[in-house]
Every structure is written in structure tokens, then in C-alpha cells.
């Protein structure tokens, strides 16, 4: 993409995110850097995929906002809502594609220049483009699935349980037919976009482009399923005991379950000892901004949360990144095997 086209597009994308307050200040900086890496690629495809993912994700988040606010809670105890996304969330979805985009641009500059084409395996560099498309197909499928799946009229079922038991909406690892269908749609949008914007070589037939779209759509949808499995195992889903709703951490962070092991902390963040007062029955116990329970006159703590599923090993951002890496590297490995390419050519 020419600089005089790429730079204004990146500025427009960041400006839109700023005016809509969809990203934090640091999130805007990281998004600008990531967008620049995509925009300065010789082909327009990487930036187009990033833009489609961003605009698509923004739209689906807005669609389900009101429903989600009734079905989940935020870590602060308020109704669930979507605040601005931070830099960690931006990186979790785009860092893999950003690295691969830079690598692909360097390979093109070293070997065949900016006028090369996507040869469906006749050029070893095609493997890197496979990883880029696979990344955005998978994260788009995951975004559509998680954001629109909560609109399902039926309760989600835990994919990591043997009996597929029902779980509250918003549970990590919970899947519905609506969510799977939404994930398929998100993956198809990205895959179809890649088929439209990639500079295929003249030898590529319509049938080959259709097969490419089908394969990447299926792979991206599989990424959504993998994210559910990883989330159901590696990420703790925390339920508010009083309402039975899932508690979501701000910015994709972990949700605390237990109050601090030190002195009880009230809602203002002060310990009873430091203020010279005693706990009053019903006083909120918190750590930071997360409401964790209430106290009684005898200093006891009644926890208001419990872990519904999963282990508290990764937060949502960690799960998303692990899924993106797995799906991108996996797609590149399959492409290498299918096309019979030697990846050592990329570093020679």
C-alpha cells in the first residue's frame, strides 16, 4: 500500500476509535503502530483485513450491549458493560498478524519486490500470508461468537464438560448454536475479504479462490471453538452468588474471587484498622475496584463470588492470544505440508 494512502487510513482509523472512545489512550497508540505495520505492507490485504475485523467487531459489540448488560456484571458490581479496550486487548488480537505482516513485507522486498502475487503455494512467502488471514479469521470468529452468542435464547452449554451441562450466559467455554453460527459468519466475512483483496496470480482460478475462502472460513470457525475450550479450562468463570450472573473483568483481566488475605478493606479502599473503626454488617469488602463480599459485626467475611468453571491460570487476553498464535501457526504448518514448501527459504 502506498504511504500516501496508508497514512491517512491509519489516522482515520485511530481518529474514529478516539471519537467513539472505543480504545484507551495507550490502546490508541498501540492500534496506530499495529495499523501502520499493516498499512505499509506492499499489498493492501493486511490493512483491509485489520479494518474489516475492527469495524465488524465494533458493530457486533454495539448490537449486543444492552442484552449483555442485563445478563452479566462488571467486576465493580455494576451491570456488565463494554468499556474502552486497552492496549493488551489490541495486542492479543493483532500482534500475530502484525509480526507476520512485517515479515512478509521484508521477504517480498528481498525476493520479488512489491509487484509479486499470491500464488497459492508456488512461493514460500505465501505461508506468511496464510498466517495473517488465519489470525483474523479466527479472532473475528471468536469476537462474533462471544459477542453475539450471548443473544441466544437458549442457555449455553459447557464445551469442556462431559455432559455439556448448562451454564450462565457469558461463561468461558459456554457455547450455543447462535454463537457458533455467528462465529462462522465472522470467519466468512474475513475469508471472503481476503479472497477479494489478495493479489492472486493470474493462474488462480475462481474455483481455487472459492476453495481458499471455504478453507479459511472453516479454520477460523475452528478457532472460535478452540477459544471456548481454552477459556473453559484455563480461565476462571466467576459467578456472583446473589444474582447468579457471570462477573466480567475490566479490560479482559482476571476477576478476583477472594478478599485480601490481610485486613478487610471497605468499598473506599481503607482498612478498618487504619481508620480506627470496626466493620459494620453489610459493609462492602473490596480489593481495588472489585466488590468481593460483605462483612459482619464480628469481622467475618461473606464472599459474594464463586468460580463456576475453569482454572485461574490465564485472563481473557491470554486465552485470546494463545488461540490466535495456535491458529496462525497451525494454518502455516498445514499450508507448508499441503503445498510441500521448505520454510528455510524464508530465512535464506
Strands 305-309, 237-240: pairing kind: antiparallel
Same domain flag for 57 and 127:
yes
Q: Which domain holds residue 295?
A: 258-308
Same domain flag for 203 and 296:
no
- Specify if 249 maps to a domain: no
- Spatial distance between the Cα atoms of 316 and 288, rounded to a whole number of angstroms: 19
- Specify if 253 maps to a domain: no
Same domain flag for 52 and 201:
yes
Same domain flag for 300 and 217:
no
Give me the pLDDT at residue 329, please. Answer: 98
- Spatial distance between the Cα atoms of 109 and 20, rounded to a whole number of angstroms: 37
Yes or no: say if 52 and 36 are a contact pair by the CB < 8 Å rule: no
Same domain flag for 287 and 158:
no
Same domain flag for 45 and 134:
yes
Nearest to 343 by CA among 130, 58, 165, 200: 130
Same domain flag for 149 and 184:
yes
Q: For residue 322, give the C-alpha cell.
A: 494463545
Give me the pLDDT at residue 213, please. Answer: 98
Q: For residue 83, give the C-alpha cell.
A: 468499556
- Specify if 150 maps to a domain: yes
- Specify if 252 maps to a domain: no
Give me the pLDDT at residue 8, please. Answer: 94
Per-residue pLDDT of the chain (348 residues; tens, 9 = 90+): 887 898 999 999 999 999 988 899 999 999 999 999 999 999 999 999 999 999 988 777 665 566 666 788 877 655 555 678 899 999 999 999 999 999 999 999 887 544 589 999 999 999 999 999 999 999 999 999 988 888 888 999 999 999 999 999 989 999 999 999 999 999 999 999 999 999 999 989 999 999 999 999 999 999 999 999 999 999 999 998 888 888 888 888 888 887 544 343 333 344 444 444 444 445 555 555 565 655 454 444 557 888 989 999 999 999 999 999 999 999 999 999 999 998 887 765
Same domain flag for 304 and 171:
no
Count of domains forming the chain:
2
Amino acid at each position: 500500500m502506498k504511504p500516501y494512502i496508508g497514512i491517512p487510513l491509519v489516522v482515520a482509523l485511530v481518529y474514529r476509535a478516539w471519537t467513539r472512545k472505543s480504545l484507551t489512550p495507550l490502546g490508541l497508540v498501540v492500534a496506530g503502530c499495529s495499523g501502520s505495520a499493516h498499512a505499509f505492507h506492499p499489498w493492501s490485504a493486511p490493512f483491509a483485513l485489520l479494518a474489516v475485523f475492527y469495524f465488524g467487531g465494533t458493530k457486533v459489540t454495539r448490537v449486543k450491549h444492552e442484552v449483555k448488560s442485563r445478563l452479566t456484571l462488571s467486576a465493580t458490581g455494576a451491570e456488565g458493560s463494554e468499556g474502552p479496550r486497552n492496549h493488551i486487548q489490541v495486542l492479543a488480537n493483532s500482534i500475530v498478524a502484525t509480526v507476520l505482516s512485517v515479515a512478509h513485507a521484508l521477504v517480498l522486498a528481498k525476493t520479488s519486490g512489491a509487484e509479486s502475487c499470491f500464488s497459492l503455494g508456488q512461493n514460500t512467502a505465501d505461508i506468511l500470508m496464510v498466517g495473517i488471514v488465519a489470525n483474523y479469521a479466527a479472532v473475528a470468529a471468536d469476537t462474533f461468537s462471544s459477542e453475539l452468542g450471548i443473544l441466544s435464547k437458549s442457555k449455553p452449554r459447557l464445551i469442556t464438560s462431559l455432559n455439556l451441562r448448562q451454564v450462565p450466559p457469558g461463561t468461558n467455554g459456554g457455547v450455543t448454536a447462535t454463537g457458533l453460527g455467528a462465529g462462522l459468519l465472522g470467519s466468512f466475512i474475513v475469508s471472503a475479504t481476503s479472497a477479494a483483496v489478495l493479489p492472486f496470480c493470474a493462474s488462480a482460478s475462481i474455483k481455487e479462490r472459492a476453495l481458499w475462502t471455504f478453507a479459511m472460513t472453516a479454520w477460523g470457525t475452528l478457532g472460535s471453538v478452540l477459544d471456548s475450550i481454552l477459556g473453559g479450562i484455563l480461565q476462571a468463570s466467576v459467578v456472583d452468588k446473589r444474582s447468579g450472573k457471570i462477573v466480567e473483568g475490566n479490560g479482559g483481566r482476571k476477576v478476583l474471587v477472594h478478599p485480601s488475605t490481610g485486613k478487610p478493606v471497605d468499598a473506599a479502599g481503607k482498612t478498618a484498622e487504619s481508620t480506627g473503626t470496626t466493620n459494620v454488617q453489610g459493609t462492602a469488602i473490596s480489593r481495588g475496584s472489585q466488590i468481593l463480599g460483605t462483612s459482619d459485626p464480628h469481622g467475618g467475611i461473606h464472599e459474594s463470588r464463586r468460580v463456576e468453571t475453569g482454572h485461574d491460570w490465564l485472563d481473557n487476553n491470554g486465552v485470546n492470544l494463545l488461540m490466535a498464535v495456535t491458529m496462525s501457526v497451525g494454518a502455516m504448518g498445514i499450508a507448508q505440508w499441503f503445498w510441500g514448501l521448505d520454510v528455510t527459504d524464508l530465512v535464506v
